[in-house]
Amino acid sequence: MGKKDFSLEAALQQLKPFDTDQIKFELEQYATSAELGAAIITHIQDDVLDKRVLDLGCGTGILSCACALAGASIVVGVDCDEDALALARTNIAECDVDHVVDFVRCRIDDNAQLPLRNAFDTCVMNPPFGTRKKGIDAAFVRAALSLCDVVYSLHKTSTRAFLLKRAHEWGAAADVVAELRFDLPKTYAFHADNSRDVAVDLVRFRRVADELPPPVVSMAEPPPPATRWAPRGRGRAPRGRGRGRGRRR
Amino acid sequence: MRLLTHNMLVSNAKGVSEAEGYPLALEVTEHRREETEFDVETTRKTMETVKYDALRGAARAVAIDLPEVYDGDDADLLRKVHEALCDVHVIEGCLVCPKSGRRFPINNGIPNLLLHEDEL
């Protein structure tokens, strides 16, 4: 596993998480932690640097910020929630990446056509896991594959077999780039535990031609991280904010 | 929303194909400019995936006049293109579907292409 970049993590820790009064469980809103955001970036550096990046279900924009800080040429974050996007706007200003990141409000599901043309290189996303709305995780991956050749997506490890099998039907090869664990703080009233460790996979989907044989599933070693970004902002990194995302089963 | 992002946006109104729904007409009531670093090579590379006619139409809405024909060897033009693409932030305004006329508001810099239930 690549070394973590703590300056990126510190930068991401300044971001505002979901407002607890506005958080919407039906959208499966759980903030991606700064730690997880930074960990993801270390695994996908080459597909972000100087690339046009899409972030579906961007929420408060932590992955959009992370990609911008990691050198993406443009990032477009997409979400349906107005409150989350308003926070995302302040977060990109906080990270000083508002000249790289833009947001678009629209719905992402099987019935909706995304209002974007095929002009992106890479999608990096932390979609809903599909616990509340069955199949929404797959709908996000397919939407991403309709616009990008390469899609990095975070999924519960328990759904791995299903996703890797379905990827071929979507014209994509899939492999698990990293197995990550993270601590999820109690976010909603229906959570029984104060926190819970959930195993997640960072899955890389790659669009392939139809005639190619079924994808080979492999556990690739991640590339070493580059350290292009510098810590920014006010030099303050409050701990314990915006950490965790997920749900109990 | 910058014009670079506008260049990627397509109408998602029901029954409108991608070819029919592009480009979205841009109406601007408030915008700001924030100068960013200009680099000839970067802009030239960015232009490989930008649709120039759509950019030209959008730039007109913020009073930037681009010539009818794009010339990637013209450094002055590239500077102007860079300004239009990257420095202009549309804060308030509207995107209009060229086929259906559906209006998508832009508020607080974020275009809203969320369709209502009865539009799906």
| C-alpha–C-alpha distance, residues B42 and B58, integer Å | 21
Q: Which domain holds residue B53?
A: 3-112
Please indicate if any CB of chain A lies within 8 Å of the CB of B36.
yes
**Residue B111 pLDDT class (50, 70, 90 cuts):** very high
Compute the nearest-CA separation of B67 from chain A (Å): 23
| Residue pair B108/B91 in contact by the 8 Å Cβ criterion | yes
Tell me the ipTM for this assembly: 0.96
Whole-angstrom Cα distance, residue A223 to residue A41? 10
pLDDT number for residue A119? 92
Residue A10 touches partner B, C-beta closer than 8 Å: no
Q: CA of B112: which chain A residue's CA is closest?
A: A105
Are the beta carbons of B113 and A115 separated by less than 8 Å? yes
How deeply is A209 buried, as exposed, middle or buried, from its count of CB atoms within 10 A (0-12, 13-18, 19+)? exposed
Interchain pair B10, A115: CB under 8 A? yes
Whether the CB of B57 is below 8 Å from some CB of chain A: the reply is no
List the structure tokens of A112: 């909706």
Are B8 and A119 in contact (CB < 8 Å)?
Answer: yes
- Report how far residue A69's alpha carbon sits from residue B95's, in angstroms, rounded to the nearest whole number: 29
Q: Which residues of chain B neighbour A112 with C-beta distances below 8 Å?
A: 12, 115, 120
Q: Measuring CA to CA, which residue among B1, B26, B2, B24 is closest to residue B11?
A: B24
What tens digit of pLDDT does each residue of B2-53 get? 999 999 999 999 899 999 999 999 999 999 999 999 999 999 999 999 999 9
In angstroms, the CA B53 to CA B111 distance is 20
Q: Do A119 and B108 touch (CB under 8 A)?
A: no
Read off the pLDDT band of B105 (50, 70, 90): very high
Our separate counts of H helices and E strands in chain A read 6, 7
- CB burial readout B91-107, b (16+ within 10 A) else e: eebbbbbbeeebebebe
Q: What is the mean pLDDT of chain B?
A: 96
Top residue of B114, B117, B118 to mutate, by most chain A CBs within 10 Å, is B114
pLDDT number for residue A125: 96
Test B34 with A112 for CB contact under 8 angstroms: no
Interchain CB distance below 8 Å, B120 and A99 = no
Cα B110 to chain centroid, rounded: 13
| Number of independent structural domains in chain B | 1
A interface mutation test: which of B3, B5, B17, B33 has the most A CBs within 10 A? B5
Residue type, A212: L
Q: From first to last of the 249 residues of chain A, give the pLDDT tens digit.
A: 455 677 888 888 888 877 777 777 777 777 778 888 888 999 999 999 999 999 999 999 999 999 999 999 999 999 999 999 999 999 999 999 999 999 999 999 877 789 999 999 999 999 988 877 888 999 999 999 999 999 999 999 999 999 999 999 999 999 999 998 776 665 555 656 666 778 899 999 999 965 444 444 445 555 555 555 544 444 444 444 444 444 444
Q: Return d(Cα B31, Cα B75) in angstroms, integer.
A: 25
**Interface contact A114-B12, CB threshold 8 A:** yes
- A85 in reach of chain B (CB within 8 A): yes
**Sign of the Cα pseudo-torsion (A207, A210, A213, A214, in order):** positive
Tokens of A194: 């104060």
Q: Do A74 and B108 touch (CB under 8 A)?
A: no
H-assigned helices in chain B: 3-6, 40-47, 52-60, 75-82
* DSSP 8-class letter at B115: P
Residue B7, in any domain of the structure? yes
CA atoms of A146 and A126, how far apart (whole Å) = 17
B18, B34, B114: residue with CB nearest A106: B114
Phi, psi of A74 (to 5 degrees): -150, 145
In chain A, DSSP assigns E strands to: 52-56, 74-79, 101-105, 122-125, 150-156, 172-185, 195-207
Q: What are phi and psi of A241, to 5 degrees?
A: -115, 145
With contacts defined as CB-CB under 8 Å, which chain B residues touch A74? 4-5
Task: Decide if B115 and A105 are in contact by the 8 Å CB cutoff.
Answer: no
CA-CA-CA-CA torsion sign (A41, A43, A49, A54): negative
pLDDT exceeding 70 applies to what percent of chain B?
100
CATH number at residue B9: 2.20.25.10
Q: How distant is the Cα of A209 from the closest Cα of chain B, in angstroms?
A: 22
Decide: A49 and A72 in contact? Cβ < 8 Å.
yes
Chain pair A-B, CB pairs under 8 angstroms? 69
Q: How close B37 comes to chain A (CA, Å)?
A: 10
Collapsing DSSP to helix, strand or coil, A25 comes out as helix
All domains of chain A, ordered by start, with CATH? 34-207 (3.40.50.150)
Q: Quick check: is B117 in a domain?
A: no
- Residue B57 to chain A, least CA–CA distance (Å): 17
CA distances from residue A52 to A106, A112, A146, A150, B51 in whole angstroms, order as listed: 19, 22, 15, 11, 15
